Amino acid sequence: MAFVLLNIVISFMYLLLRFKKNIHILQQNFYNENNRYIKWGNKNLFSVFKVDVILIIINLINLFFKIKYLLLVNLIYLVLSIFLYKDIKKEQVKIPLKVTSRVKRMIVTDVILYLIPVFIYLVNRDVYLFCFIYSILVSFNFYVIWLGNIINKPIEKLVFLYYKNKAIKKIKSLNYLNVVGITGSYGKTSSKNILNDILNVKYNSITTPQNFNTQYGLIITINNYIDKFNDIFIAEMGAFKMGRIKLLCDLVKPKYGIITSIGTAHLETFGSRENIQKGKFELIESLPSDGVGILNMDDPYQLNYKLKNKVKIIWVSINNKDADLVASNININKFGMKFDVYFKSEDIKYTFSTRLLGVNNVYNILVGIAFSYYVMNMSLEEIELGVRRIKPITHRLELKNIGDITIIDDAYNSNPVGSKMAIDVLKLMDGFKVVVTPGMIELGDEQYDLNKKFGEYISEVADYVILVGKKQTEPILDGLYSKNFDKSKISVINDVKEYLSIFNNVKVKNKQTYILLENDLPDIFNEK
């Protein structure tokens, strides 16, 4: 009996470590929305089971032959616990587990599931059966958490409906509030923050915080952040499949809509570029008849779309002179940008300057100018002041200087357009250039080709390349090799935090160095 108690205590230690890690994985995979959690598990079976299968076999033999292998099982659990604890201590997670009310409810449900062997033991007093069932639940913790998530779905739905109805009631009461929806494959968060900075020169504008661009995020924003003093609410709207933007529009009822760009982000879950296009235009097609949409004339997926409603459209552009606002004379250096904007209806040109970098940010600023000028009737002087005041956005081509090293932090997210723009920014710099990247994800069947193309772009600019994740960066490596990039100038690591140790060995003394951090994938994509 002493071995049984020891088995429970030691295996419970191991279970706690696995439980926290797997709950974290579930949270990062949006609580298995669109089966993301299960798909991750199927791709990472070794991480899910490690050597637990050995424990199951030992306990199975023990169950049928009553051989007392519990001491061996205890030793294995102890060794596993020590190694797992060391691994967790060494690991520096980018986004820690958030112990929300939902997580607490999950813990309660899973505790009940883990009490099942106790109930069985109380009925038949078979210690071997108890140990076997318990070891199964411990070893299959990944799927026990998945089962707990399924069991909790009705409860979570009721909680969600309560807060959703509360948000709908609140936003209906704020009938003076101007609601702006912003969506797109890329540039949503940047455009949202840029527009907010410009509008706050004259109005009391509020945005969804950080990347709160789901139903949950919008509900939290409405219930906890918006008050009667706000004039404008800028709602970032994200989606990874058809119908999601329409759901968000039904919630916040935007009168104005902005599409930043339409590309290949979430191509894997949307299924096709056409679906992405239709999905983004759900925003514009949800606007009322007196609403206004702001679109990019340089984006063929926006220009060629046949709208199903007749809202007013304001077009922005850099290359097409027929647009309502056209940017020209774009001057970019490492300190920021200056450019002219031509207002077609007024036949005037006005100069703007910003600390932001990259041509894509010119587009993001253009939609902010268009909305502020044509919809909110701000003067050009007010808008120009707002553009100058735009704060560099964290992890989006953000410059950080450390002695003779300048880090271009573009780690928040990466896509085919943004990654090319980041390389173009790096090209402007005069010094030793290093690119650190794990590449781009969720691009469906085009993922290999787009990452290979990214590697080709890198080869034209970088002096040294550090790739994060051997398997997922193979296409980038192929792109580098196709351009005869020097193999000795490439390193492959498994965790982005390791790049500094490599960099210190390759940097050129007495020369300004620029490090581009392009994308930083969630912890679930680390190859360890």
pLDDT tens digit sequence for 123-172: 888 877 887 888 888 888 999 999 999 999 999 999 999 999 999 999 99
Count CA atoms closer than 13 A to 176's CA, side-chain side: 8
Separation of alpha carbons 107 and 113, rounded Å: 10
Q: Name residue 406's beta-bridge partners.
A: 401, 514
Separation of alpha carbons 29 and 450, rounded Å: 24
What b/e string do you get for 267-290 counting C-beta neighbours within 10 Å, with b at 16 or more? bbbbeebeebbbbbbbbbbbbeee
**Burial (Cβ within 10 Å: 0-12, 13-18, ≥19) of residue 403:** exposed
Query: Which residues have CB under 8 Å from 72's CB, separation 6+?
Result: 58
Confidence bin at 415 (pLDDT 50/70/90): confident
Instruction: Return the pLDDT at 205.
Output: 97
Instruction: Return the pLDDT at 303.
Output: 94
Q: Which of 56-70, 305-319, 489-503 has the lowest mean pLDDT?
A: 56-70
pLDDT of residue 418 exceeding 50, the answer is yes
Query: Would you list the DSSP string of 96-161?
Result: -----HHHHHHHHHHHHHHTHHHHHHHHH--HHHHHHHHHHHHHTHHHHHHHHHHHTHHHHHHHHH
Mean pLDDT of 396-408: 82
Higher pLDDT pick, 13 / 289: 289
pLDDT of residue 270 exceeding 70, the answer is yes
**Which CATH number among 3.50.40.10, 3.40.1190.10, 3.40.50.450, 3.40.50.300 corresponds to the domain 175-389?**
3.40.1190.10
Separation of alpha carbons 415 and 186, rounded Å: 7
The tokens describing 425, both together, are 């920014």
Separation of alpha carbons 128 and 471, rounded Å: 42
- Averaging pLDDT over each range in 235-244, 305-314, 328-337, 437-446, which range is the top one? 305-314
The tokens describing 185, both together, are 């494959």
pLDDT of residue 6 exceeding 80, the answer is no
In this structure, are residues 29 and 40 in contact, taking their beta carbons and an 8 Å threshold? yes
Separation of alpha carbons 128 and 152, rounded Å: 31
Confidence bin at 40 (pLDDT 50/70/90): confident
Separation of alpha carbons 31 and 26, rounded Å: 5
pLDDT tens digit sequence for 326-383: 999 999 877 889 999 999 999 999 999 999 988 889 999 999 999 999 999 999 999 9
Instruction: Return the pLDDT at 113.
Output: 94
Distance from chain centroid for Cα 431? 31
Of 375, 281, 385, which is closest to residue 324 (Cα–Cα)?
A: 375
Other beta carbons within 10 Å of 121: 17
The tokens describing 527, both together, are 């190859």
Count CA atoms closer than 13 A to 253's CA, side-chain side: 15
Instruction: Return the pLDDT at 524.
Output: 47
Separation of alpha carbons 239 and 260, rounded Å: 14
The tokens describing 275, both together, are 């679906």
Of 440, 296, 304, which is closest to residue 360 (Cα–Cα)?
A: 296
Q: In the chain, what are the domain boundaries?
A: 2-151, 175-389, 398-525
What b/e string do you get for 500-512 counting C-beta neighbours within 10 Å, with b at 16 or more? eebbeeebeeeee
Angle between helices 141-151 and 2-28 (to 10 degrees): 60
Task: Give the sheet arrangement for strand 292-296, strand by strand.
Answer: 205-207, 232-236, 178-183, 256-259, 292-296, 312-317, 325-333, 336-343, 348-354
The fold for domain 398-525 equals Protein-Tyrosine Phosphatase; Chain A (3.90.190)
What is the model's pTM? 0.79
Per DSSP bridges, beta strands 325-333 and 312-317 are: parallel
Q: Rounded to whole angstroms, what are the CA distances from 422 to 26, 253, 399, 411, 415?
A: 31, 35, 12, 10, 10
Arithmetic mean of pLDDT over the chain: 87
pLDDT tens digit sequence for 424-460: 889 888 889 999 998 888 777 788 999 999 999 999 9
Separation of alpha carbons 266 and 341, rounded Å: 32
Of 391, 458, 386, which is closest to residue 424 (Cα–Cα)?
A: 458
Higher pLDDT pick, 428 / 479: 479
pLDDT tens digit sequence for 55-101: 777 777 777 766 555 666 677 777 777 877 777 666 656 677 889 89
Q: Which of 4-8, 102-106, 443-447, 480-484 has the lowest mean pLDDT?
A: 4-8
